[in-house]
Amino acid sequence: MVRNKIDDLDVERELDAEQEVLDNRGFGDKLDSEERRDIVRETLINVKEDLSILHHVDSVYCISSIKEFWQSFDFPRLEQDLTVTLRRQREEDALELVEGA
């Protein structure tokens, strides 16, 4: 299962919510890069777990719709898994052709 726009929706919503908590507490601080990474990591884990349970799937890929962020999420893993799956399918199809001849 592929979940796109992960950066636009889920991640930004969580980052905004955390920043709002800081603002409401009277801190003028902004989230630092480590805090942002932790929020992104936790958000991805939660989205993947929720979708996996809801749709009974083993693999959930969270990707960005913005090309410059493709490497930031699961797009490289999706590409790799698709390549392996397509190669395997082609080999099986070729074997069926040979056996059927």
Q: What is the pLDDT of residue 101?
A: 61
Number of domains comprising the chain: 1
Q: What is the pLDDT of residue 2?
A: 92
Choose among 82, 54, 63, 55: nearest CA to 2.
63
Greatest Cα pair distance, the chain, in angstroms, is: 76
**Does residue 74 contact residue 11 with C-beta atoms inside 8 Å?**
no
Q: What is the pLDDT of residue 60?
A: 96
For residue 78, the enclosing domain spans 2-100
**Does residue 47 contact residue 3 with C-beta atoms inside 8 Å?**
yes
**Does residue 9 contact residue 65 with C-beta atoms inside 8 Å?**
no
Q: Which residue positions in the chain have pLDDT lower than 50?
A: none
